[in-house]
A and B are shown apart, each in its own frame.
Chain A
Amino acid sequence: MPEATFLDSNELVLNMGPQHPSTHGVLRVILKLDGEKVLGTECVIGYLHRGVEKIAENRTYTMFNPYVDRMDYVAAVSNGLGYCLAAEKLGAVEIPERAQVVRVILTELNRISSHLLWLGTHALDIGAITPVFYCFREREEVLKIFEKYCGARLTTHAFRIGGLQYDTYDNFEQDCLKFCDWFLPKVDEYEELLTTNRIWVARTKGIGILNIEDCKSYGVTGPVIRAAGLEWDLRKAQPYSGYENYDFDIPTAQNGDTYDRYIVRMQEMRQSARIIRQAVGKLPSGAIRGKVAKVFKPAIGEAYQSIEAPKGELGYFIVSDGSTQPYRLRVRPPSFVNLCALDRMCRGALIADVVAIIGTIDIVLGEVDR
């Protein structure tokens, strides 16, 4: 085969290696390029694989709870919620009202903080270097609330099977309301900085289009499918933890490109603040933990519980063989499934867009690799 020089317009294979400022973790993407156009991509993952599902087979249900936070380490509270709900479904445990409302508040705060991190890093990849600092400042306030509640900022371990471990601290309601009041004008500030900015629009409109049929065939959920036009949110479709009692909208868009996903996530942040305000308003008193045995031993069976994590549908499938340790625990990570659609979105884009597209799917490698 004659030696091709790089000036020939043959296919060029470029490696966007595991160490890269924009791949949000250790993700390796092998790009097949024709000049500057992307012909195909291949993701090589597994650099952060820690065998979480195997670890689950050797820990009791209560012991495994802290490990779950480490998967999607950006939104640890959601992971904990999904796992606790799945285990409670398996063990048929009743959760008291107060625990459900506090869980909703913390999960929505978590959604805001996850979207803030997404916005900051996405803007940073596209070149705007200031929104990341503003977003992290807001995130700092949320993490302070988490720290005051459960003692840790990132790997919160906030929930337990059956309810909560800690009751809310003294100024919890005021802190949450103060945060919502302080935070909503900041979202307006981000919109002012980015939404109508012609450079931002030029970089994100029409990039990485994924329509509803493609979303369904790849199994992509979360803000990606909502931006494509389908109003699918597990909080409304299969409500859990009392979400049916709150009044909120599901933001959608039409085109399914990067700009629309940006708009959808910004609106989601606003809706989350709305839910938090309602939940804080109706916080009932009562027990924080349901009746669950000291040693949790569910009956033989299996249960699947999925929640609407900030990144998509996060599902836990637990098979119990009657002992204190699960027989098999399978996590359905939204980032992993959404990443499979990267190839479809990158066809025909330019190299500079690949970075924007990876950012817009909102992946966290801890979840992709587990």
Chain B
Amino acid sequence: MDEIFNSPYYPYLPPLIASVLIILLFPLIAGYIVLLERKVLADLQVRLGPMRVGPYGFLQPLADAVKLLLKEDIIPAAADKWIFWGAPVLSTFTALTAFAVLPLSDKFFVADVNIGILFILAMSSIGILGLIFGGWSSNSKYSLLGSLRSAAQMVSYEVPLGFATVTALMIAGTLSMQGIVHAQQEQGLWFAFGNYGLMLVPAVVFLIAGVAETNRAPFDLPEAESELVAGFHTEYSGFRFALYFLAEYASIFVMCALWVTLFWGGWLRPFPNVGFLEVPLNYGFPILLFVVIGLGCLKGFRRRRMPIEQTVIIGALAGAMFLVAALFAIPAANPYVIGLFWFLLKVFLLVYVFIWFRGTFPRFRYDQLMEVGWTYLIPISIGALIVNGIVFLWTSGS
């Protein structure tokens, strides 16, 4: 053991383990985000969603993964083969690389780069190339037009995104993702509620721009099914389509994580500096949550007649929830997992909000979409930047 701790390669070991874990786990998590989307959309639409594969549809992502892997790999005859192959790879690569700087917790993360925000924004910009290459290599007029529209939308919404980010950075004082969370810890509040509530404006602008950036409803015209100009991924099928899908959900996760880091306190608990709330929030809340979920699983399988394998799965799930609750109760282990818990909870709340938006709003037409971005969001975000800057200087200076 001493050899491992003393070897010059030791500092690389935790980030390596973390990145391998992320690469291995993320397809599974993306699959479960898809299932979450289907179930939440179904809930909003007064229906049930997937229910057959696994208990309450819980194993649906496995069925989807198997289906996509077993599909025939069709490449259009006139397509540019190498770019056709490389485009989804590029999208997935940039989306997953952004995970490297996400502040998952104060103790568990891949790397704390001192220009973290810049890195993520750069990665999302390069990801747009993956879209363009996909549309170009399909060698179809409509795919190219669709991908160009999609790319134009993403590029134009990066401007308000950037301005909103800069507003938060101004108050944090650093570009590093961990540094931003530490700044929120020092100031004792999540940035969305900072500056006497004036920071809500950049937070909302970032949210809207984030929805547009990830091509989600109400800004999903380029890839909507009922439109004529088909999206960039029309010609993709099977595993390549799965990669694009994975990239899209990874970028949703990254966008939500970015919003949480900048405006919602990252891995901090609510009221991070209030001492007496530590035990109820850091111990009580997670234990309660997991115990309630475990009990809910148990109640779930008593309500329906299920075949034996589904009962076993739900039983195992309930058991896992109770184990996790027990983990949070151990004082020695709690500080290591609590940061991750709060971060993931907030990110998934935001993913729910994204799905909620998709279920509620109709779609913007393309010119209206661009109008919202250029004529509304950019002036508002610039104005918010100026106002927040002035207020921040005034309150911190005096």
Q: Which residues of A contact B368 (CB under 8 A)?
A: 202-203
CA of A355 to CA of B225, assembled, Å: 11
With contacts A123-B362, A193-B360 known, is A199 near B218, CB below 8 A?
Answer: yes
* Residue of A125, A197, A199, A202 touching B226 (CB-CB under 8 A): A125
- The answer to whether A137 touches B46 (Cβ under 8 A) is yes
B365 within 8 Å of A (CB atoms): yes
| Minimum distance in angstroms from A343 CB to a CB of chain B | 17
- The answer to whether B228 touches A130 (Cβ under 8 A) is no
Quick check: which of A14-22, A64-72, A218-226, A306-314 contacts chain B, the rest being far away? A14-22
| Minimum distance in angstroms from A95 CB to a CB of chain B | 40
- The answer to whether A197 touches B361 (Cβ under 8 A) is yes
Q: Which residues of A contact B41 (CB under 8 A)?
A: 129
Q: Which residues of A contact B145 (CB under 8 A)?
A: 6
Which residues of chain B in 370-387 are interfacial with respect to chain A, using CB atoms and an 8 Å cutoff?
A: none
Type the 1/0 row for A113-141, where 1 means its CB is closer than 8 Å to any CB of B.
00000000001111111101110010000
- The answer to whether B365 touches A134 (Cβ under 8 A) is no
| Minimum distance in angstroms from B327 CB to a CB of chain A | 38
CA of A22 to CA of B224, assembled, Å: 11
| Minimum distance in angstroms from B92 CB to a CB of chain A | 27
A44 within 8 Å of B (CB atoms): no
CA of A126 to CA of B361, assembled, Å: 9
- The answer to whether A126 touches B363 (Cβ under 8 A) is yes
- The answer to whether A355 touches B365 (Cβ under 8 A) is no
- The answer to whether A199 touches B46 (Cβ under 8 A) is no
With contacts A127-B218, A130-B45, A133-B45 known, is A197 near B362, CB below 8 A?
Answer: yes
Which of B41, B145, B225, B367 has the largest count of A CB atoms less than 10 A from its CB?
B225
CA of A197 to CA of B220, assembled, Å: 17
CA of A303 to CA of B227, assembled, Å: 44
Q: Which residues of A contact B226 (CB under 8 A)?
A: 20-22, 124-125, 127, 355
B170 within 8 Å of A (CB atoms): no
CA of A278 to CA of B364, assembled, Å: 41
Interface range for A? 20 to 34
Type the 1/0 row for B225-239, where 1 means its CB is closer than 8 Å to any CB of A.
111110000000000
- The answer to whether B228 touches A14 (Cβ under 8 A) is yes
Which 4 A-B residue pairs are closest in the complex by CB-CB distance? A127-B363, A133-B45, A128-B362, A127-B362
| A–B Cβ pairs within 8 angstroms, 17 of them | A6-B145, A16-B228, A22-B226, A123-B362, A127-B218, A127-B226, A128-B361, A129-B41, A129-B217, A133-B47, A194-B362, A199-B364, A350-B366, A351-B229, A352-B221, A352-B366, A355-B227
Q: B: which residues have CB within 8 A of A?
A: 41, 44-47, 141, 145, 217-218, 220-221, 224-229, 358-368
Q: A352-B227, A353-B365 are in contact. List 12 more A-B contacts (CB 8 A).
A: A6-B145, A21-B226, A128-B361, A137-B46, A194-B362, A199-B363, A203-B362, A203-B368, A350-B366, A350-B367, A351-B227, A352-B366
